[in-house]
Amino acid sequence: MRILRYKNKRETIVLAALADDERVYDLPHSDFMELVYASEREGKPTIQYVKDLIAGQEPIEEAFDELQLAVPIAAPEVWASGVTYEKSKDARNYEATAGKLDADTFYDKVYEAERPEIFFKSTAARTIGPGQPVYLRSDSDWQIPEPELGLVLSKSGKVLGYTAGNDMSCRDIEGENPLYLPQAKVWKHSCAIGPVILLAEAVDDPYSFDLACRIYRADEKVVEGTANTKQLKRRFDELVEFLARDNELFDGTVLLTGTCIVPPNEFTLKEGDRIEIEISSIGVLNNPVKKQESKIPTAH
């Protein structure tokens, strides 16, 4: 069972369920967390609560792929884990050492360390949903999407659901100096999530999601990569435990779990590209790429 938000004929954003038979049912709750709270009040797992709600109800007329989707949750915060897959460690080493991969870097150390890399990625205002453009930074010449599984968390750190995420990244800025990480990771429209939230109760094994990333330029596929969450070096409960340690979490926080798909080193995103991030049982997060319309003049 998957939960989504879409704009209906009255131009109102509404919450809905996408059932296993691919039919869409409107839900009488304003957002994902309201749905979770309502299921808790009834003492039912959210998946059962939704099944009971839609039983005997007519699906909406439109098919899922005809809907104008919105971001599935206005996550108050998006955090991200890094260097959780060997592929990411190797890519970070490449950008930090100008290709001299034999250096013993911070990335090698964090890959092996007990404490994972966790960084602040986005706020609700910076996070976009399916179909909306991710923006390019104006001061980077080496930008890539990072396709990642996202955990949707409660304030107690419980995994409520799974979504797909794009941790847009500037390899040149981070490679110049890891202290520039916030600038390499956080800017307007630098984070996309969606298209839906797959309820956690519907997932038997979260270490078996297939991920794929495809990048199209002028309708031609220029990048394609695949991965599986079984390649993760970390466990999700370990990442959540470190995120929550001495911290305050908010309901609906999203934690991205790191990338295992990195485009070839010579690749950088360009305006007009289109990014597809697909995760099995979740669906395809589709975003065009745009240049940022900068309102702030640069210093030089």
Position with the least CB separation from Mg ion: 167
Does position 278 bind ligand DO4 by CB under 6 A?
A: no
Judged by beta carbon distances under 5 to 8 A according to partner kind, the member of ligand DO4, Mg ion, none in contact with residue 92 is ligand DO4
Which one of the spans 25-33, 50-58, 70-78, 79-87 is the region binding ligand DO4 (CB under 6 A)?
79-87
Does position 77 bind Mg ion by CB under 5 A?
A: no
The answer to whether the CB of 262 falls within 8 A of the CB of 144 is yes
Shortest gap between Cβ of 87 and ligand DO4 (angstroms)?
Answer: 8
Q: How many residues bind ligand DO4 (CB under 6 A)?
A: 13
The residues in 148-177 that bind ligand DO4, with binding defined as CB under 6 A, are 167, 169, 174
Contacts 24+ apart (CB under 8 A), 97-104: 98/175, 99/265
Does position 116 bind ligand DO4 by CB under 6 A?
A: no
Shortest gap between Cβ of 146 and Mg ion (angstroms)?
Answer: 4
Which one of the spans 41-49, 78-86, 211-219, 273-281 is the region binding ligand DO4 (CB under 6 A)?
78-86
From 259, 261, 282, 283, residue interacting with ligand DO4 (rule: CB under 6 A): 259
In this complex, which beta carbon is closest to ligand DO4, that of residue 150 or of residue 258?
258
From 129, 147, 194, 258, residue interacting with ligand DO4 (rule: CB under 6 A): 258
Which one of the spans 34-42, 118-126, 162-170, 285-293 is the region binding Mg ion (CB under 5 A)?
162-170
The label of the residue with tokens 């949750």 reads: 73
From 82, 130, 175, 194, residue interacting with ligand DO4 (rule: CB under 6 A): 82
Does position 259 bind Mg ion by CB under 5 A?
A: yes
From 117, 273, 276, 278, residue interacting with ligand DO4 (rule: CB under 6 A): 117
Does position 146 bind Mg ion by CB under 5 A?
A: yes
How far apart (Å, rounded) are the C-alpha atoms in residues 34 and 219? 39
Q: Mind giving me the DSSP string for the chain?
A: -EEEEEE-TTS-EEEEEE-TTS-EEE-SSSSHHHHHHHHHHTTS-HHHHHHHHHTTPPPPSS-GGGSEEE-S---SEEEEEES-SHHHHHHHHHHHTTT-TTS--HHHHHHHSSSPEEEEEEETTTEE-TTSPEEEPTT-S-EE--EEEEEEE-TT--EEEEEEEEE-EEHHHHHH-GGGHHHHH-STT-EEEEEEEEEGGG-S-GGG-EEEEEEEETTEEEEEEEEEGGG-SS-HHHHHHHHHTTS---TTEEEE--------TT----TT-EEEEEETTTEEEEEEEEE----SPP--
In this complex, which beta carbon is closest to Mg ion, that of residue 37 or of residue 119?
119
In this complex, which beta carbon is closest to ligand DO4, that of residue 83 or of residue 285?
83
User: Could you give the maximum distance between any two Cα atoms of the chain, in Å?
Assistant: 64
Q: Which residues bind Mg ion (CB under 5 A)?
A: 146, 167, 259
Q: Which residues bind ligand DO4 (CB under 6 A)?
A: 80, 82-84, 88, 92, 117, 146, 167, 169, 174, 258-259
